[in-house]
Amino acid sequence: MSIHPSAVIAQGAVVPASCTVGPFSTIGPDVVLGEENTLISHVVLDGRTRIGSGNTFHPFCAVGVSPQDLKYRGEPTETVIGDNNTIRESVTISRGTVGGGGVTQIGSNCLLMTCVHIGHDSHVGSHCILANSATLAGHVTIEDYATVGAFCPVHQQCVVGQYAFVGGGTIVTQDVLPFSLTSARRENKAFGINKIGLARRGFSPQRLQVLQKAFRLLLSAKLNTTQALEKIKELEGEDVAIVAAFIDRSHRGVIK
């Protein structure tokens, strides 16, 4: 086991021999690590935190720390992280609260860049990218393969749909449509589908074409959302069904 002499590992913590714990890192008594995790230096793992395998934690990140919620009274809530994530410098991930379900969760194969904040009870899927200083307030959901750009604050209870790309500096106060390219050039708008990102993920031209039809109905056909949704449901394909279901269940409304 590679543990630097200056690291502090509390009694009760589970740290497999395949892990590397760098200088001045601290691991709390209720932390459970999987295999081959690397804590480079000055990493804090706290609270009831379960971490999968193959993750890399860069200096000064703090994971499983108490939530920034004045109602929190030390309840034994959790943080759950999957496999093969890269968590860069000064990232903060708060554990859950009783009122929000009790768990903050990160999937697998995510990149959380410098100074990202994951607020309490947020759920980030797998294969997500959160760029520098993206900030998730409590109770946010980021679905699989979504990208949130630099300096984007995301309001409580908002959902960023799968495969969406949110441009840097966008203030997200409503749900972001799946597959969309959403940005705040002058005001928050969806600018159609995330065509380049979807193509890179292996979407065929036929799938992109059907999605483009759905987004034209929603964004530029001079229909209200209810009318556009009726037309979208007439289109065939799993992707447009995902878009329709996302709009149906949205509580905050979607960015158009």
Q: Is 120 a catalytic residue?
A: yes
Helix boundaries (H) for the chain: 195-200, 205-219, 225-232, 238-249
Residue with tokens 């995330």: 194
> Which 8-state DSSP code applies to residue 100?
G
Identify the active-site residue in 121, 125, 149, 167: 121
C-alpha span between 63 and 94 (Å, rounded):
6
Strands 180-183 and 189-193: antiparallel
Name every residue whose Cβ is closer than 8 Å to that of residue 208 and which is 6 or more positions away in sequence.
193, 195, 198, 199
Identify the active-site residue in 42, 117, 120, 123: 120
In 3D, which of 18, 42, 45, 17 has the Cα closest to residue 32?
45
**Catalytic machinery residues:** 120-121, 138
